[in-house]
Amino acid sequence: MLNIAVCGALRLGQRCAARLSVVQDHVGQAVGLGRQLCTSSSAITSYFPVVNGVRIHYEKTGTGNHTLLLLPGALGSSRTDFSPQLETLSKEKYTIIAMDPRGYGRSIPPERDWPLGFFQRDADDAVALMESLDQTQFSILGWSDGGITGLIIAGRYPHLMKRLVVWGANAYVSPADIAVYREYQDVSKWSEKMKRPFMVLYGKEYFQRNWSLWINAYERYMEKRKGDICIQETKNVKCPTLIIHGQKDPLVPQEHPDFLAANIPGAKLVNWPEAKHNLHLRYPEEFKNLVEPFLDSDN
């Protein structure tokens, strides 16, 4: 389930493996503000502002009036999780901002820690980032854990939201979900394709330690909050919402998108029969053709 924003090692690995070639900077590497990644009119520029006391990395592209915030899954980054969207979403219609949550990708240091309520902290960081950029209203595209973060933002800060798109996300975690995550706890047993992007990005020690801590953090939601990650925030979402579900997703059972659709007024659920967890990486053009009309709609 989680849009591990992930939730499971499998989904995490699958999403990132597809975009290994774009991960070129080592974590913790000193880089300057506004480093240019390309020189064309569609340039993707990298920034490192201090937000809520920590250095947060984000990438920006496009010049449109509609601002999109892209939120990655567990241990994900702007480029491992959203490289196709940074390239293919309309640069004329949208201003696109893709952030690395604290302790992920190039938002290191600091190292990641995992307090109870880490999703809520990620949401606060994202809101603070957008406020620092004078973004008074925007839409969110959130995958896996990033979808959870997006639900929290939409529920807690409705005045900031235009539209919300989530896939691979869940408002609660069940014992069955935890069991799936535990099956993939030992990253040395992952396929080379699944684990290599994370090894490149983090190194084996950081990756294994934080993947295990991520599972433990989910278990604390189970133990301390009876599995409730963001149920109330989900029920408070007011903005137009699109929920996409890959029906071959091995980590997110149908109950999770069904719950979101039933509890967000007016939400639209699109079931994608052939898609898995990383549907936006596997089918970037189809994803674009599904999401852009929703973002552009007046309804």
Active-site residues, by number, are 144, 249, 277
What is the length of the chain? 299
| Token reading at 19 | 């975009």
* Residue corresponding to tokens 């939601």: 221
CA nearest neighbour of 145 among 2, 5, 1: 5
DSSP states of 28-94: T----TTEES--STT--EEE--EETTEE-EEEEE---SEEEEEE--TT--HHHHHHHHHHHS-TTTE
| Rounded CA separation 104/130 (Å) | 18
Strand, helix or coil at 207?
helix
DSSP states of 132-144: HTT--SEEEEEET
201 phi-psi bin (left φ>0, alpha ψ -120 to 50, beta other): alpha
DSSP states of 262-296: HHSTT-EEEEETT--TTHHHHSHHHHHHHHHHHHH
- Return the number of other C-beta atoms located less than 10 Å from residue 230's C-beta: 27
Residue 141: alpha-carbon gap to chain centroid: 8
